[in-house]
Amino acid sequence: MLGKIVGSMLVIVACGGGGILIGQQMRRRYDTLSEGRRAVQLLQAQIRTEGSSLPEALRETGEHCGGIYKEMFRELSSEMLLFRGEPVRSLWGEVAERHLTEPYLKEEDAAQFVLLGEQLGMTDRKMQETILERYLEYTDHELAELLTEMKDKTRLYRNLGFLFGTFVTILLL
């Protein structure tokens, strides 16, 4: 009997945990996109006010941001300074592909970041601003949607998880 009770508890906790995990994934995507937004804002400031070259601005931004962007920006900067003769878009794409692999990120998140890199540094100052703004608009939109979604669904996923666990337990008993 004790075995059944322990087993039932484990099933309920596991399913509830699964629900919580789905909620956590949303939270992590939110944090990563926020960090990306902050990083791009820093990059924008470096370019706009300091007039830094892109590799310089990326290195400097990498020093001041966190998460996956820290390492990614540093790597991009050093890869650029090697002048291997590869097009910017493929260099940016390769580095982004290596770093933006987290399962909680949507394909569109990585695609938007790659799109940003394809055009960054290739245009005049005005277009540059537009490209950066466009990426910031994307993150703003996604963050706003995520925030609403998190409010509505985090509790829902957790509760559904526990309920599903209870349901499985009843079936098993």
Which residues would be at the binding site for another protein (CB under 8 A)? 47, 51-55, 57, 80, 83-88, 120-128
| CA-based torsion, 154, 158, 163, 164: positive or negative | positive
User: Which residue, 33 or 57, has its beta carbon nearer to another protein?
Assistant: 57
For the bound state, the minimum distance from the C-beta of residue 96 to another protein, rounded and expressed in Å, comes to 15
Question: For residues 88 and 110, which CB has a smaller minimum distance to another protein in the complex?
Answer: 88
Q: How far is the CB of 57 from another protein (least distance, A)?
A: 8
- Amino acid, single-letter form, for residue 75: E
Q: For residues 44 and 143, give the distance between their C-alpha atoms in angstroms, rounded to a whole number.
A: 19
Shortest distance (Å) from residue 107 CB to another protein: 26
Question: In terms of CB distance, is 47 or 105 closer to another protein?
Answer: 47
Q: Rounded to an integer, what distance in angstroms lies between the CA atom of residue 8 and that of residue 17?
A: 14
Q: How far is the CB of 122 from another protein (least distance, A)?
A: 6
- Non-local (6+) Cβ contacts of 57 within 8 A are 43, 46, 47, 50
Instruction: Decide whether 12 or 131 has the Cβ nearer to another protein.
Output: 131
